[in-house]
């Protein structure tokens, strides 16, 4: 059978499912106290997920943020949060005008021209 098809590796989605199942099977063998503790940990992790985003950023911007966070010794999530809030404040006050960034290319509508990432 092994000369017929290549059975190397495991499908990544299957691997994720097996990992999750192994975790569940492992927890079944814990004491009730340990299981309650694990459940509380999961709840805490779930609450953190409420703010998790998956947005696309220009690679240069992502690198810059990581570099600043490392220089300042702060988590990059907190740095991004501060910068976004500051940007929101400027948008709210009129200091930042989004229309300045609207693309005027006839090929694209509802697209912003993203400025260069400053050094």
Partner 1 sequence: MTIITVSNQKGGVGKTTTAVTLAHGLAREGFSVLLVDLDSQGNVADSLGLDPGNDLYRLLFPGLAQPLAQVVTPSGRERLDVIRSDKHTAALKVALAAVDFREYVLYQALADTPHDVIVLDCAPSIDLLHTAALVAADYLIVPTRLDQLAVKGVRDVLQTLQAVRRAGRTQCELLAILPTFYDRVTSESHAQFEHLVNVFGARVWPPIPVDTQCRVAPRLGKTLWEYAPRTRALVGVEVGNGRRVGGYVQALERLVKLLR
Binding site for partner 1 (CB under 8 A): 1, 4-11, 13-14, 16-18, 20-22, 24-25, 28, 49, 52
Identity of the residue, 15 or 103, whose beta carbon is nearer to partner 1 in the bound complex: 15
> If residue 92 lies in a helix (H) or strand (E), which one and from where to where?
helix 76-93
For the CB of residue 9, give the shortest distance to partner 1 in the complex, in Å.
Answer: 5
By CB atoms closer than 10 A (0-12, 13-18, 19+), residue 67 is exposed
Cα separation, 28 vs 25, whole angstroms? 5
Identity of the residue, 31 or 105, whose beta carbon is nearer to partner 1 in the bound complex: 31
For the CB of residue 81, give the shortest distance to partner 1 in the complex, in Å.
Answer: 20
């Amino acid at each position: 059978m092994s000369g017929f098809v290549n059975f190397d590796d495991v499908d990544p989605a299957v691997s994720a499912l097996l990992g999750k199942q192994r975790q569940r099977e492992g927890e079944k063998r814990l004491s009730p106290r340990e299981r309650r503790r694990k459940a509380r940990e999961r709840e805490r992790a779930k609450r953190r997920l409420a703010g998790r985003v998956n947005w696309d950023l220009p690679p240069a911007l992502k690198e810059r943020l990581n570099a600043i966070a490392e220089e300042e010794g702060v988590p990059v999530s907190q740095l991004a949060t501060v910068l976004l809030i500051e940007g929101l404040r400027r948008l709210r006050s009129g200091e930042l005008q989004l229309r300045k960034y609207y693309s005027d290319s006839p090929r694209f509508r509802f697209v912003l021209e993203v400025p260069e990432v400053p050094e």
